[in-house]
């Protein structure tokens, strides 16, 4: 059981409502994963996104999981094809607690 969100978490105005709904539909132990890069439409992302860097973005998305009680602590991975030499790509994920 899994829910994914690919390269659009930075556009959500109410991410906690989304995480709450994800928690509602996931089975216990189910995985929620949100991927993102540093590419975006600057006029459309949430305001803080343009003022922060890649590691901050990981922390921002991680906080969405942290503040949703149904999930354990968030995890994050750099899934860039060639870290340091290509566009960065990250995934932040968590499992619904059993």
SS3 content of the chain, % helix, strand, coil (to 5): 35, 25, 40
* Contacts with 67 (C-beta within 8 Å, 6 or more apart), sequence order: 16, 19
User: Model-level pTM?
Assistant: 0.92
Per-10-residue mean pLDDT for the chain, 98 residues long?
94 95 97 93 90 95 96 94 89 96
CA angle 55/66/34 to nearest 5° reads 60
**58 and 37 in contact (C-beta within 8 Å)?**
no
Alpha carbons 39 and 45: distance in angstroms, whole number? 10
- The two structure tokens encoding residue 42: 């600057």
* Predicted pLDDT of residue 84: 81
Alpha carbons 12 and 79: distance in angstroms, whole number? 22
């Amino acid at each position: 059981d899994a829910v994914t969100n690919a390269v659009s978490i930075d556009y959500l105005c109410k991410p906690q409502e989304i995480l709450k709904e994800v928690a509602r539909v996931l089975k216990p132990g189910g995985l929620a994963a949100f991927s993102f890069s540093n590419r975006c439409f600057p006029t459309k992302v949430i305001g803080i996104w343009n003022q922060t860097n890649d590691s901050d973005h990981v922390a921002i998305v991680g906080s969405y999981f942290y503040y949703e009680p149904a999930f354990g602590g968030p995890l994050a991975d750099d899934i860039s094809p060639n870290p340091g030499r290509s566009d960065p790509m990250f995934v932040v994920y968590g499992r619904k607690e059993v």
